Structure 1
Amino acid sequence: MPDTDEHIIEAIGRSRIVIRNGEVVEVGEAIITDCPLAKRFACPVPEISTEAVRKNIEHRMKAFGMCTPDREVLDTREFVGFGASELLSFGMKAGMIDAAVLACDGAGTVVVTDPAMVQGIGGRMSGLVRTTPYPSVMDRIEEGGGIVLDRETAAMDPAAGVALAEEQGYRKIAVTVALPEDAVVIREAHPDAFIVAVHVTGMTRDGAAAVAAAADLVTACASGTVREVAGPRALVQAGVSVPVYAMTERGKDLIIEKIRRSGEQVLVKPTRLPVTGGREPEPLV
């Protein structure tokens, strides 16, 4: 066990949460007050308050070991139809992606090749800012065919993760990024990477323009700037309340293929994007 056991995440309206030695020691104020997705969590957050956020995080720690050495890394359940992990997991099953570069609490940047691990890591993880390396979690990932970028520090560096995946021989590489500068650097250094921009709530207009230009998929989260900048340029929008925008043909292909293989009813309608409606997060920031 490392001497410094601390994790910092941003979750549920971009609340800054500090978990130290297995306990939630700090919950910051969220920058939004309402989120339709948070109402559907396994531990729902009907109103975004510090106490509700704390309870949700504590539930995640107990339910699947988030930010603990017992962190589970496999799951096959879909939590959101067009969530980033759901789309990447599907893309891997469909042969459209052969490796995904993700951030995992307890391990940092990892390269994953199992669809169940993509979902197990990403489906229940919020914006990870910093984490502590846990040998047990990293062992679990490696036993499942994954690769940890830095076992000593659990560093988070998506560009280095893509480079590592390329070194291992993977060519259809997807990567999630939360910072616009990471999206730009990866697109320049690795033009074939499939980039998914996540955790964009509170992003500046310049940041939104950067991810709209660099990414294949952009999740809108509670970002007003992403809706304004990426929405009109998108080829496909999946969802309305918290949409995902396909910015490239590859992004469009992934969403359309997931729809094609789904058994759910779907409305397809040519229209100008973005389409708004339903229950959006409040306020958009």
Structure 2
Amino acid sequence: MDEHVMEALGKSKVIIKNGKVVEVEEPLIDYCPLFHKYRGIEKLTPQVIKENMEFRINDFGMCTSQRKLKMVDFLSFGISETLGTLMDENIIQCAVIVCEGCGTVIVEDPELVQGIGGRISGIISTTPITEVITVVGLDKVLNPETAKINQVEGVIKAIDEGYTKIGVTVASAGDALKIREIESQNKDVKIYIFTVHTTGLSSEDAETLFEQVDVITACASLQIRKIAEERDVFSVGASIPIYAASKDGEKFLKMRIEKIGGVKEKKDARIPDPLI
């Protein structure tokens, strides 16, 4: 079976089978500032989302054996761009991220981090693609036979392989808590947690994330934005802010600012509506 399920633009569930988009559900929100800016998409609909998914398949082989995996920075600020900067500065040795066709992977190359993370949406499930696994590295895939997605187990695998400075992406508060527990049990290991795909989070999970992680993307999460405002945390980005939830997170975002030569905010930045 070749099937890849992701939550894409506006957190719409999308299913891709054998290189074809076979199902697109209604999105939770109908506007995304990033896709408006970079793709000219003014309103998210199932048809528009389907066309964007097909563009990605044709452009860089998303969810196919033709996947192009390396890429230079796409956004000024994004999780993959920030992780790449941390690798360049030797702050982290690897990033535990998710790639379609592989599942959870351990990556050391900044361009590979960007090529994997900067081009895809939130992956819910995936199946193995041999050609993609070969490029990433068989030994760097959590489970090459199933393309399993499990960030907690990915961190454990990275520690077992000898990495002591690890960046990891998570989409749930539960994963963040488990990873901090793993860190506490490994005295010589430092783990930096980056939260993605936050639209629709509960207030309780949002609070937990601000206590446990280092960097959080706002997406269209009302709860994340509310807590960030209450805590007056350091942030970058206007339409879709990225927040520093820790001192390390603030340092990382400022490192990224320095690397790109400063921040230019759009005065007319539009916030996704409605926030959820």
- Unmatched 5+ residue regions in structure 1? 268-275
- C-alpha change, 1:26 and 1:266, in structure 2 (3 Å) is closer
Equivalence for 1:270: none
Equivalence for 2:64: 68
**Residue number among 12, 26, 30 corresponding to 2:27 in the alignment:** 30
In the TM superposition, what is the alpha-carbon distance from 1:234 to its structure 2 partner?
5.3
In the TM superposition, what is the alpha-carbon distance from 1:277 to its structure 2 partner?
7.5
Equivalence for 2:221: 223
* Separation in structure 2 between the aligned mates of residue 266 and residue 241 of structure 1, nearest angstrom: 12
* Separation in structure 1 between the aligned mates of residue 204 and residue 263 of structure 2, nearest angstrom: 37
Q: Deviations over 1:4-38 (max 9, x none)?
A: 11110001110000111211110000011111111
In the TM superposition, what is the alpha-carbon distance from 1:214 to its structure 2 partner?
1.1
> Is 1:233–1:247's contact at 8 Å kept on the other side of the alignment?
no
> Is 1:133–1:154's contact at 8 Å kept on the other side of the alignment?
yes
The range that moved more, 107-116 or 170-179, is 170-179
Structure 1 segments (4+ residues) deviating >6 Å? none
TM-score (normalised: structure 2)? 0.93
In the TM superposition, what is the alpha-carbon distance from 1:82 to its structure 2 partner?
1.4
Q: Deviations over 1:36-90 (max 9, x none)?
A: 111133x4422101110000000001111111111111111x2221100010011
In the TM superposition, what is the alpha-carbon distance from 1:172 to its structure 2 partner?
1.1
Equivalence for 2:187: none
Equivalence for 2:118: 123
> Is 1:112–1:118's contact at 8 Å kept on the other side of the alignment?
yes
Matched, 1:106 2:97: no
* Separation in structure 2 between the aligned mates of residue 8 and residue 265 of structure 1, nearest angstrom: 34
Equivalence for 2:45: 49
* Separation in structure 2 between the aligned mates of residue 178 and residue 234 of structure 1, nearest angstrom: 22
> Is 2:218–2:243's contact at 8 Å kept on the other side of the alignment?
yes
* Separation in structure 2 between the aligned mates of residue 72 and residue 265 of structure 1, nearest angstrom: 29
> Is 1:234–1:246's contact at 8 Å kept on the other side of the alignment?
no
Answer 1 or 2: which has greater helix percent.
2
Q: Deviations over 1:174-195 (max 9, x none)?
A: 0000122111111121243100
**Residue number among 4, 9, 12 corresponding to 1:12 in the alignment:** 9
Equivalence for 2:166: 173
Equivalence for 1:186: 179
**Residue number among 139, 150, 168 corresponding to 2:143 in the alignment:** 150
- C-alpha change, 1:112 and 1:124, in structure 2 (3 Å) is same
> Is 1:97–1:174's contact at 8 Å kept on the other side of the alignment?
yes
CA RMSD of aligned residues (A): 1.7
Matched, 1:132 2:109: no
Equivalence for 1:163: 156
- C-alpha change, 1:166 and 1:160, in structure 2 (3 Å) is same
Q: Deviations over 1:117-149 (max 9, x none)?
A: 000000011000000101110001118xx7111
**Residue number among 256, 268, 271 corresponding to 1:280 in the alignment:** 271
- Unmatched 5+ residue regions in structure 2? 185-189
In the TM superposition, what is the alpha-carbon distance from 1:265 to its structure 2 partner?
5.3
- State the AA in 1 paired with 2:240: V
* Separation in structure 1 between the aligned mates of residue 134 and residue 212 of structure 2, nearest angstrom: 33
- State the AA in 2 paired with 1:177: V
> Is 2:76–2:260's contact at 8 Å kept on the other side of the alignment?
no
- State the AA in 2 paired with 1:40: K
* Separation in structure 1 between the aligned mates of residue 259 and residue 172 of structure 2, nearest angstrom: 31
Q: Deviations over 1:149-185 (max 9, x none)?
A: 1000000010111111111111110000012211111
- State the AA in 2 paired with 1:15: S
Sequence identity of aligned pairs in percent? 40
In the TM superposition, what is the alpha-carbon distance from 1:239 to its structure 2 partner?
1.1
* Separation in structure 1 between the aligned mates of residue 258 and residue 76 of structure 2, nearest angstrom: 13
* Separation in structure 1 between the aligned mates of residue 23 and residue 258 of structure 2, nearest angstrom: 44
* Separation in structure 2 between the aligned mates of residue 125 and residue 98 of structure 1, nearest angstrom: 23
Equivalence for 2:252: 254
* Separation in structure 1 between the aligned mates of residue 165 and residue 110 of structure 2, nearest angstrom: 14
TM-score (normalised: structure 1)? 0.90
* Separation in structure 1 between the aligned mates of residue 272 and residue 199 of structure 2, nearest angstrom: 10
